Structure 1
Amino acid sequence: MYLTRFRLNTARVGARKLLSSPQALHAAVMSSFAEIPPANEEGPRVLWRIDRNSKAETCLYIVGPDKPDLTHLVEQAGWPETGRWQTYDYQALLSRLAKGNRWAFRLTANPVHSIRRKAEEPTKRTAHVSQKHQIDWLLQRQEHAGFKVIGKPPEHQLIPGLDTHELVIHDRRQLTFKKRGNDKPITLLTVTFDGRLEVTDPEAFSRTLTRGLGRGKAYGCGLMTLAEA
């Protein structure tokens, strides 16, 4: 497994076009591999995420079983003379995972749930729009995913009943785009979680890091990255 970081030059038209369309960016990411890894739930897959750290720094992160070649992205959306990308051995981090380890994390996700208005109607997938429901969406998945978000004692909660964990939400976006060959638009709500977690099941957590969490993985959702807490 490998983790790759690439900084986009947002002053270029090519970069702005990619950032405006998750479908186009997905295609550009998959074009980075000579042999496209299979997108299945049984093994590692290609995951990617856009981090907008500031107006001057927008970065693309890619995790996958093979090293990508981002030459085409440098030419289209980077700095052709000086632009590079950094690829790291992700297995080194995965091998360090142990029960009780604490990490800072970032995750961009598509928090959705299934609803129906009438009993006879089929269920419909709908995005969570409130911050409370988005947080609940993540907390409901943490046990199966092999981690738990670290809780806050009551005296440290700014909003009692809501600010119960070391977790913040930012960069909420609603993206509307069309898939090639389909005139019906796709709407995708994404949110970014920053927080601190504790590993509860290293094997399950490793699967989460290499297979992604939640839906919308082809469109920049599901990739969780870690940093020293």
Structure 2
Amino acid sequence: MFLSKLKIDVTSREFRRDFADVHQMHRTVMAAFPQVDDEQPPRQKHGVLWRLDPSQQGYLLYVQSRVEPDWSGLPEHYLTEPHQVRDLQPLFDAITGGRRFAFRLVANPTRAVKRDEKQQSARAEQGKRDQPRRVVHRTPEAQIDWMIRQGERNGFVIPAGRNGRPDVASSPAFRMQGKTNLGHEAQKVAIDHVRYDGHLIVTDPGLFASAVRDGIGRGKAYGCGLLSLAPAQR
């Protein structure tokens, strides 16, 4: 596994285009990876996860992948300095039961809501399947509860902090929007990013390593799911 760090030039016209359209941002990221011949989408084949973090100078783009990317095709002046790529194997070697990490995650915490009869009828007339719609958790309490549930599924727990509450804070990051072509129709997509910063303790090393490798939650093609780890802060 590899992790790329790219310092974005926010004056770049190409970056402003990407930031305005999350699908274009996805395409720019995926252009650094080889095309695939099988039916599996390239992002899944190469295990690509990405995240934009605000910085004092603008944004840092982090990209995690199973194969080493080639960033030479980025538009000129897209970055303010050369990219950095490091091997993540030492991180995976450090994942053991009971290990405590500081972490950051940008996610799209949602819940399924059943559609009412009018919405169901409208979708049926359009020939669409009746699937629950996804609603974003808006309150910090619901967002943190979502994170705790992710831990139960992915081999970690959120410990209690000094105040006795879960040692994690959630904060709205930003919304990324774009359009996708499904069939002959262009449909708008909006992804609400929520940033989590806190500490976790590994309970199942195998499950947890898979979560780090494959990402957490929905919206992985749209800048969500990348779990970054660092030594725990005491």
Tell me which interval the TM-score lies in, with the shorter structure as reference length. Answer: 0.7 to 0.9
Deviation at 1:135, TM superposition (A): 1.1
Structure 1 Cα separation of the partners of residues 28 and 79 of structure 2: 13
Moved more, 198-207 or 17-26: 17-26
TM-score, length-normalised on structure 1?
A: 0.86
Give the counterpart letter for 1:221 in structure 2.
Answer: C
Say whether the 8 Å CA contact 1:41–1:211 is kept in structure 2. Answer: no
Give me the CA root mean square deviation.
2.4
Structure 2: stretches of 5+ with no match in the other structure:
121-129
Partner letter of residue 71 of structure 2?
Answer: L
1:214 maps to 2:220: no
In the alignment, the residues of structure 2 paired with residue 132 and residue 113 of structure 1 have an alpha-carbon distance, to the nearest angstrom, of: 14
Aligned residues: 217
Q: Which moved more, 1:111-120 or 1:192-201?
A: 111-120
> CA contact under 8 A between 2:15 and 2:78: conserved in structure 1?
yes
1:51 to 53, 58, 62: 53
Shift of 1:139: 0.8
Cα-to-partner distance string for 1:160-187 (whole Å, 9 max, x where unaligned): xxxx211112243233311256422112
Aligned to 1:106: 104
Aligned-residue offset at 1:95: 1.3
Deviates more, 1:84-93 or 1:169-178: 169-178
- Write the distance in 2 (CA, Å) between the matches of 1:39 and 1:221: 17
The AA in structure 1 aligned to 2:85 is T
Q: Percent identity?
A: 30
Q: 1:93 to 1:105 in 2, by over 3 A?
A: same
Q: CA deviation at 1:52?
A: 0.7
Residue 127 of structure 1 corresponds to which residue in structure 2? 136
Q: Which secondary structure does the structure 1 equivalent of 2:85 belong to?
A: strand
Gap change, CA 1:44 and 1:200, over 3 Å in 2? farther
With over 3 angstroms needed to count, the CA separation of the structure-2 counterparts of 1:136 and 1:53, relative to structure 1, is: same
Q: Structure 1 unaligned segments of length 5 or more: list them.
A: 158-163
Of 69-78 and 6-15, the range deviating more from structure 2: 69-78
Please report the TM-score for the alignment, with normalisation by the length of structure 2: 0.84
Which of 204, 209, 213 is the aligned partner of 2:207? 204
Paired with 1:99 and 1:211, the residues of 2 have a C-alpha distance of 19
Name the amino acid aligned to 2:32: S
- Once residues 215 and 7 of structure 2 are traced to their aligned partners in structure 1, the CA distance between those partners, rounded to angstroms, is 22
Contact 1:39 1:46 in 2 (8 A): no
The residue type paired with residue 12 of structure 1 is S
Asked if the contact 2:100–2:199 (Cα under 8 Å) also holds between the matched residues in 1, the reply is: yes
Deviations along 1:23-63, one digit per CA (max 9) or x if unpaired, are 11110111101245944999871111111123x14111111
Range that drifts further, 180-189 or 127-136:
180-189
